[in-house]
Structure 1
Amino acid sequence: MNNFDWTQLINPEFYITLSIGGVQIGLYIVLFIVFAETGLFAGFFLPGDSLLFLAGIYSGELMANVIHIPNDFMNVLLLSLSVTAMGILGNMVGYWFGAKSGYYLFKKEDTFWFKKKYLLQSKDFFEKYGGKAIIFARFLPIFRTFAPIIAGIVSMDKKKFMFFNILSSFLWSFILIFAGHYLYGIFLKQGIDLKHHIEYIIIIIVLISTFPVLIKLLKKRPADKE
């Protein structure tokens, strides 16, 4: 923390390896970010997909600071379940927030933390895909933050919302964390330590996760001009 650089805030590895007073708090930071990105509308700028992928790579270190489990699979499983739980809770808070004060957001002026255009884009996305939008949104930056809020605004059936909420959080957490963990092992056997190539991993994941969003925005421009 002595050589802190503000640019580290967009680097998921910074959060995972963060320590205070010699105590590793990476797991708690990861869980909070998952909650904030899915439960707080201000969390759209936080790293999501890349954070979970890297959490899979560092699963052993993250869990070792909380509970010692010699079984490698159990470490990854417990980490994935913990992230799943926070993702579910985050979406529930987002849904509640949308149901209680969602309409106020459409009248709210833009701030550094809030951009109305993201809310409107998420609304269009939700109207197009319905309940499935909750699942799709998990893997898409920005939409991941606003989809549960929109669900609350349009009064989506709570049981239906919880079904897609639980399913999407499970898929998002397990796919990315397990992928990070086992791909790390596969590459390590080939003499390639992915921990030494974190920058490239982050860039690749960001490009993959934001590509559908960019395509959607580019397709929407001609219609906006008309």
Structure 2
Amino acid sequence: MEELLVFFNHLTDPDWIVAHGGLYLLLFIIFAETGILIGFFLPGDPILFIAGIIIANMEIGDSNPLLVLLYWISLISIVAILGNFVGYWCGKYFGHRLLKMKDNWLFKKEYIYKAQAFYKKQGGVAIILARFLPVVRTFAPIVAGIVGMDFKKFVFYNVLGGVIWVSSLVTLGYLLGENAWVQRNLEYVILGIVILATAPVMIKMITGKRTPVELPTK
């Protein structure tokens, strides 16, 4: 447990990330958060912002910095999109089993109920909006699979949402990555991103009502 806490503390340190896998580590984290059920606790939004900072400070020689930025945005977007596909298929084929699982410290059906309520309210656009909401972004594609969302529709919103989420936060980190104030106050900037991203979820958890998942009839 102590090693896990140390790992999370280092995830806000761009230099540590570069020394321990760099952007490849970031690719794994983004895939795990969007595609692996237990990855919901990973800090996707701050990681994307830090990815932009790392890219801004990379030694790229004679390479065009914009092309490098677009290259990594493309790679991270692909990973984020693939992650949601994994979540969709897990929900489609294992959804009934997930809902029969007993709650424990790591998994609670409440996460699926919240994602499903958000999904029902927003429709297909929820797949895009959920990208910016911690926890919800992990379970939204699973719920889409559980309720049998049309796959072609899911593909459209998944791709669009993945590109918007990754490109916006990575570009923001890239533009601010060489700013002296941001570098001196990176922890506060990261904390601000976490608060802004988490606040809607916390408000929803406090004021929202539990909604049972409606399984597709077979």
Which bracket does the TM-score occupy, shorter chain normalised? 0.7 to 0.9
Aligned to 2:86: 93
Offset at residue 33 of structure 1 (A):
0.8
**Higher deviation after alignment, 106-115 or 165-174:** 106-115
Offset at residue 5 of structure 1 (A):
7.5
Residue 204 of structure 1 is aligned with which of 182, 192, 196?
192
Give ranges in structure 2 of 5+ residues lacking alignment. Answer: 212-218
Distance in 2 of aligned mates of 1:213 and 1:69: 43
Matched residue SS, 1:70: coil
| 8 A Cα contact 2:54 2:177, kept in partner | no
Distance in 1 of aligned mates of 2:113 and 2:7: 30
Matched residue SS, 2:155: helix
| 8 A Cα contact 1:15 1:29, kept in partner | no
Distance in 1 of aligned mates of 2:197 and 2:160: 19
Aligned to 1:26: 22
Paired residues for 1:207-218 under 5 Å: 207-218=195-206
Q: Give the number of aligned pairs.
A: 209
Task: Indicate the percent of aligned positions where both proteins have the same amino acid.
Answer: 42
RMSD: 2.3
Paired residues for 1:1-16 under 5 Å: 6-14=5-13
Give ranges in structure 1 of 5+ residues lacking alignment. Answer: none
Distance in 1 of aligned mates of 2:44 and 2:15: 12
Alignment CA distance shift 1:5-1:119 (3 Å): closer
Matched residue SS, 2:104: coil
Residue 182 of structure 1 is aligned with which of 175, 180, 189?
175
Alignment CA distance shift 1:119-1:129 (3 Å): same
Alignment CA distance shift 1:11-1:136 (3 Å): farther
Amino acid aligned to 2:128: I
Query: C-alpha deviations, 1:159-195, integer Å up to 9, x for none?
Result: 000000000000000000001111234xx2xxx2422
Q: Which of structures 1 and 2 has the larger relative contact order (alpha carbons within 8 angstroms, sep 6+)?
A: 2
Paired residues for 1:33-182 under 5 Å: 33-60=29-56, 70-182=63-175
Distance in 2 of aligned mates of 1:175 and 1:61: 18
Q: So what's the TM-score if we normalise by structure 2?
A: 0.87
Matched residue SS, 1:167: helix
Offset at residue 112 of structure 1 (A):
3.3
